[in-house]
Structure 1
Amino acid sequence: MGGSFFLGLRYDLRMISWLLIVMLVLGSIPVLHPFTGKRGKKFWMLLLGAVVLFVLFFFSVDFAHYAYLEQRLNASVLNYLEDAKISMGMVWQSYPIIRMVLGVLLLAALLIWIIHRTHRWVSKQPYTGTRRSRIISFAVCFLLSGFFIFGKFDQYPLRWSDAFALGSDYKAYLALNPFESFFSTLKFRHSGYDEKKVKALAPVIGSYFNFTPNDNPLSFVRVVEPKPGALTTKPNVVLVICESFSAYKSSMFGNPLNTTPFFDSMCRQGIFFDRCFTPTYGTARGVWATITGTPDVEMTKTASRNPAAVDQHTIINDFTGYEKFYFLGGSTSWANIRGVLTNNIDNLHLYEQEDYKAEKIDVWGISDKNLFLEANKVLARQQKPFFAIIQTADNHRPYTIPEEDLKEFSKVEVPADSLRKYGFESLAEMNAFRYTDFGYKKFMEAAQKEKYYNNTVFVFIGDHGIPGNADALFPNSWTAQRLTTMHVPLLIYAPGMLAPKRVNILSSQTDVLPTIAGLCHIKYTNSTLGKDLLDSTTKGFAFIFDPDNSMTGVVKGDYLYRKQLRSNKEELVSIVNNEPVPNDAEHTAIAHEMEVLTDALFETAKFMLLNNKKK
């Protein structure tokens, strides 16, 4: 960790040096001199007091941000301001805000007192320096501060992205401070696409998605006919988008805490894809990718919040003759998801917290169990085929488990060392994860009693994973390169209609709708980056994008390839073992192939966000 601490010291010295430069320049103005007049002293005491409060506030928010997401504070936090009421509700219910504020104020008061005492002590010391010595001291301090701001002996200055050359994201976050990560990522809040690159890389997209681009290289539309062997009963579809359903925390991947035994039993009876990845981290981005088929590659502002991108084609509309439903326990005002849904899904029946009889339990609305039961009542009344989406929320801070369920759902106690070893921060988190499994069980028990059950395809997909230590279950790259934030279960469950099997093909959230449409014998138009996972010609890979760290990459074969967008630094790591990747011609060729695919997917996704409008 020595490299992280040394690099972190350089980032901290940069922050301190910016303040010293300001003090040197302003303090050289006679009226603002901190020791020769009352005005100067008052100005500096007020300014330094404000700086102390600002710094402590920034670091306290950074600590909470890291505890929540295991990422240093970055510009994506500004997204929460667009849903301020919901965000503040979650923060208030998850953290001891009053104690944190009091702690910041007390610490600020102590530091301000120390500054006052130090100023008083220095003011009493005699100064014998000459004008020449003052000029030399000013010049030396200015140049030294300037060097620390530049950060290194090199042609280029120390950058935020240099932290990611340390070999793991954890070491990078250890080195960074919130000012460096926040203000560096702030520059990347605007995005667009390069049309020349999209055209040049169109053949790459065609080769990986099994189609030949036509005369217009900017057209990625392909009409997919129903395939033999698909279900011809016009089955209903229930797609469950599962909050924070991180694969390594679940039973399906051998976690000894056995948090999801019921879902594990479903996976043994359904088609279970065990190498599925979300393109990126975050619920809004996960919902977007699932419904539109396009990875959300907006930098820090999600695509759902971009007015220019809200008009999107979705394969759901190809399910003609189907009633469309979306069930959420809270409000779809969050992240402008309501606009994405109602603007793009034809004749959608949208159900939110005020539409249910169940009571709201926290900032996220009603409990997942009650959400499932309320949705089941609606679906049981339907006379026409339906396509329903249920989006859960309980597996999320503040990890509320309703009192009404504690008679049937029992919390468990696990030693702290076992929790950490198998990926959990706290008992509250682990029991909330277990409660999601309880909700799935109650839903399926209720659905089995209804007529629609026997002709329904149930699909479960995580909206994203959760960062954490997965070393006890997976190779180190899954933790160090944060694959845990994107690895989720994908299950297609239709007992009596589909033979169970476990599928190892690399897959993505963007593949969900094409796979469902193909399975349900639907003719559909695919204009984005999804593929039918049950088609024997499909190539397995998963695009990944980390907007907070400006990284993009792809998981393919036995490797993860990632590239830092600002510095173009690359890495190729194994996802099947802990052996370093050999530096030879074979693996150089693999890295190059994955780089080309990464660039093609990234550039095309940026184009599609603004050019995949519904017909």
Structure 2
Amino acid sequence: MFDHTLKLLLRRLGLMLVLYMLLRLFFYFFNYSTFSGADVSATLLAFLHGLRFDLAALTAINAPFILLSLWPHGPTHSRSWQRFLLGLFVLLNVPFLALALIDLEFFKFIGRRSSNEIFTITGDILNQLGQLALNYWYLGLGFLLVIVGLVRVYPRSNEQAVQQHPYPLRYLRLLLVIALAILAIRGGVQLKPLRTSHAFILQPAALGHLTLNSPFTFIKSIGQNKLEEKHYFSSEDALLAALPFDADKYKNLSGLPKKENVVIIILESFASEYVGALNGGKGYTPFLDSLATQGLLFKNNFANGRKSIEALPSVLAGLPSLMQEPYITSAYQGNTLYGLGAVLQEHGYKTAFFHGAANGTMGFNNFSKLAGMSEYYGLDEYPSDLSKQDFDGQWGIFDEPYLQYVSRQLTGFKQPFLATLFTLSSHQPYTVPAKYKGQFPKGELEIHESIGYADHALREFFKNASLQPWYQNTLFILTADHTQESINPAYQNELGHYRVPLLLFRPGQKFESIDPEKVTQQADIFPTVVDYLNLPTRKLPPFGQSVLDSSSSGRALFYNGNSYFLVQPSGVTELTVDDKTQFYTFPDLAPAPPAEKNALQLKAYVQYFRSGMVSNRLYLK
């Protein structure tokens, strides 16, 4: 089976693998300033990790070549057939090699590997072809050298030395190679197929661009939606003037930094509708309600999206979900992004992310690394001797044992630390451990009992954590990823679909000067932590603001797939996809007179977000 034909194919594909690695080396030197902050070991790991992406891209590109090279019938080693294969090999690979060469310089302008956006600028390239050829002549020369070199070193077949296997073995060989090719294109046997975000697992996150190759990012972007830029403002100065964000506030924070721990708990599906403290005592969260009496519970908090996969960018990077596709799976997942973990790491914090589901679920492991969470604790890291008894049968580890595990891990961490915990049990199918059946109110919806169990798990977590040495020096921030089923008419409207709790709790401290009625959002958590800890930074996107800013009544942004919404105490502004604005009162959503200032603010957010995504410029200069 492992005969001359297969060896010849492997040599030809191996040639491309070497060429891709050489192109990565050139990419490194051409863009050295981007990667100069990484140490040697991390850089070498980025090169090594890149082989996985190279194999995926090469196998996808060369699938027809692989199939025809191992075709069981006919004179496949004849001179004419081998010439045909050489032509096909060049035809398939040369366009992608050209793309990789272009990215040596194009990366300097967009800050990420190229995607299908290259189609949108084809006209501009043709119009500027003369000056581009003059200024980047060396790329054209390199392209010609690559083609000539590829043809010259392409492994040839020795027709006289070939001994054909019987047909059954040829078919078996073809099927085996097809199976291996599918595995290579998929990137392995992990839960989710390989995608761009999987490259960003090293620190600094910029090394992800070195790990990637341009053919891979281009292939992965095919069919993905591209954002159309908006031009509501005639100039960038006019746009920034309408954008209600004070970058200097976070750039020039005064006072000594606090060396306090931060624990962010994202509660699965904990809609505000289920929280008793937000509904006159009627709810399914007695412990969260009791914690609210000791901390600061915001009564008008909003999620920036409707899915778990949309919550992490909002919470950990201050990036609301203002497009059809979640950022984690979008064409822009390779953009420059600074997360809360990255900022706190610069100030000596240990950072970790906990989620009791299978590693790879919704890309949490990769995005958390991109956001600066240096360690990831998923189902794979949970003690194997406990995982079987604590497994919920569907998603992962039940909340109660998992939260106890998190508490033990935090006790072993060096302080100060930032830990983010994403709970699990209040997810469909809302499984509750057998020993707790009948102990929590069934309520009127299937989810209500599991909310009660998750709240109990939270109670046990805080009971254990309060005995640990790190507890008294920790700010806890509790929120939810999104809403879920609704039975209360008060929440069955556009605002109610996004209402989730936000609670700040610091043992022994009150936040009495802050108005709990102000409007807040998930994207406010990043700037709030920075503000609370007094950590000056320029790495905040302009969509959120610190909830500790007593001078602001707050705001929230979300996109429902058809319209953008800006929620403020003064009113709710809607911007439709055809650029029409509508105005409502807050919180009852009755029609309201036009508020042009609010409309300009919402348009500024939308234009900034779209342009920032497309041009990879999400951060103010």
**TM-score per shorter chain, which class?**
0.5 to 0.7
Q: Over residues 380-437 of structure 1, what are the superposed CA-to-partner deviations in whole Å (9 max), with x where a residue is unaligned?
A: 112321000001121110001112444xx713345xxxx3xxxxxx2x3110111121
Using the alignment, how far apart are the partners of 1:607 and 1:285 within structure 2? Answer: 20
Other-structure match for 1:524: 537
- When the two structures are superposed, what TM-score results if normalisation uses the length of structure 1? 0.59
Q: CA deviation at 1:526?
A: 3.7
Cα distance change of structure 1 residues 393 and 194 upon mapping to structure 2, 3 Å threshold: same
Cα distance change of structure 1 residues 526 and 273 upon mapping to structure 2, 3 Å threshold: farther
Matched, 1:343 2:362: no
Q: Secondary structure at the match of 1:536?
A: coil
Q: CA deviation at 1:210?
A: 4.3
Q: Over residues 527-577 of structure 1, what are the superposed CA-to-partner deviations in whole Å (9 max), with x where a residue is unaligned?
A: 312211212333511111112xx2111111243222331x44543333334
Using the alignment, how far apart are the partners of 1:248 and 1:198 within structure 2? Answer: 39
1:349-388 maps to which residues of 2 (within 5 A)? 349-357=375-383, 358-359=386-387, 360-388=391-419
Q: Structure 2 unaligned runs (5+)?
A: 1-185, 193-221
Q: CA deviation at 1:315?
A: 3.1
319, 323, 347: which one aligns with 1:298: 323
225, 228, 238: which one aligns with 2:252: 225
1:118-157 maps to which residues of 2 (within 5 A)? none
When the two chains are superposed, the root-mean-square deviation of aligned CA atoms in Å is: 3.2
Other-structure match for 1:410: 439
601, 606, 611: which one aligns with 1:602: 606
Q: CA deviation at 1:339?
A: 2.1
Matched, 1:314 2:339: yes
604, 613, 617: which one aligns with 1:611: 617
Q: Over residues 553-604 of structure 1, what are the superposed CA-to-partner deviations in whole Å (9 max), with x where a residue is unaligned?
A: 1111243222331x445433333347x435xxxx12x2x3332222211221
Cα distance change of structure 1 residues 239 and 469 upon mapping to structure 2, 3 Å threshold: same
Q: CA deviation at 1:457?
A: 0.5
Matched, 1:334 2:361: yes
458, 477, 486: which one aligns with 1:468: 486
Matched, 1:396 2:427: yes
Matched, 1:192 2:227: yes
Cα distance change of structure 1 residues 447 and 210 upon mapping to structure 2, 3 Å threshold: same
Cα distance change of structure 1 residues 288 and 199 upon mapping to structure 2, 3 Å threshold: farther
- Identical aligned residues as a percent: 18
Q: CA deviation at 1:248?
A: 1.8
Using the alignment, how far apart are the partners of 1:393 and 1:198 within structure 2? Answer: 43
Using the alignment, how far apart are the partners of 1:343 and 1:539 within structure 2? Answer: 31
Q: CA deviation at 1:234?
A: 0.8
Q: Is the 8 A contact 1:313 1:613 kept in 2?
A: no
Q: Is the 8 A contact 2:343 2:539 kept in 1?
A: no
Higher relative contact order (CA 8 A, sep 6+): 1
Matched, 1:235 2:260: yes
295, 298, 303: which one aligns with 1:273: 298
Amino acid at match of 2:330: N
Other-structure match for 1:129: none
Using the alignment, how far apart are the partners of 1:242 and 1:456 within structure 2? Answer: 18
Using the alignment, how far apart are the partners of 1:315 and 1:365 within structure 2? Answer: 26
Cα distance change of structure 1 residues 351 and 492 upon mapping to structure 2, 3 Å threshold: same
- When the two structures are superposed, what TM-score results if normalisation uses the length of structure 2? 0.58
489, 498, 501: which one aligns with 2:510: 498
Using the alignment, how far apart are the partners of 1:514 and 1:605 within structure 2? Answer: 17
Cα distance change of structure 1 residues 470 and 206 upon mapping to structure 2, 3 Å threshold: farther
Amino acid at match of 1:283: S
Amino acid at match of 1:581: P
Q: CA deviation at 1:331?
A: 2.8
Other-structure match for 2:591: 581
Q: Over residues 494-526 of structure 1, what are the superposed CA-to-partner deviations in whole Å (9 max), with x where a residue is unaligned?
A: 121334566111111111011112112222224
Other-structure match for 1:325: 352
Cα distance change of structure 1 residues 296 and 444 upon mapping to structure 2, 3 Å threshold: same
Using the alignment, how far apart are the partners of 1:457 and 1:305 within structure 2? Answer: 31
Using the alignment, how far apart are the partners of 1:283 and 1:413 within structure 2? Answer: 24
Other-structure match for 2:473: 455
Using the alignment, how far apart are the partners of 1:361 and 1:540 within structure 2? Answer: 39
Q: Over residues 22-47 of structure 1, what are the superposed CA-to-partner deviations in whole Å (9 max), with x where a residue is unaligned?
A: xxxxxxxxxxxxxxxxxxxxxxxxxx
Amino acid at match of 1:431: E
Q: Is the 8 A contact 2:609 2:618 kept in 1?
A: no
Using the alignment, how far apart are the partners of 2:573 and 2:393 within structure 1? Answer: 40
Using the alignment, how far apart are the partners of 1:243 and 1:555 within structure 2? Answer: 23
Q: CA deviation at 1:468?
A: 2.5
Using the alignment, how far apart are the partners of 2:354 and 2:309 within structure 1? Answer: 15
Q: Is the 8 A contact 2:267 2:481 kept in 1?
A: yes
Q: Is the 8 A contact 1:296 1:605 kept in 2?
A: no
Using the alignment, how far apart are the partners of 2:302 and 2:620 within structure 1? Answer: 26
Q: CA deviation at 1:303?
A: 0.9
Using the alignment, how far apart are the partners of 1:354 and 1:333 within structure 2? Answer: 10
- Number of matched pairs: 395
Cα distance change of structure 1 residues 370 and 252 upon mapping to structure 2, 3 Å threshold: same
Amino acid at match of 1:338: N
Q: Over residues 62-116 of structure 1, what are the superposed CA-to-partner deviations in whole Å (9 max), with x where a residue is unaligned?
A: xxxxxxxxxxxxxxxxxxx99x9979xxxxxxxxxxxxxxxxxxxxxxxxxxxxx
Using the alignment, how far apart are the partners of 1:209 and 1:444 within structure 2? Answer: 37
Q: Is the 8 A contact 2:339 2:370 kept in 1?
A: no
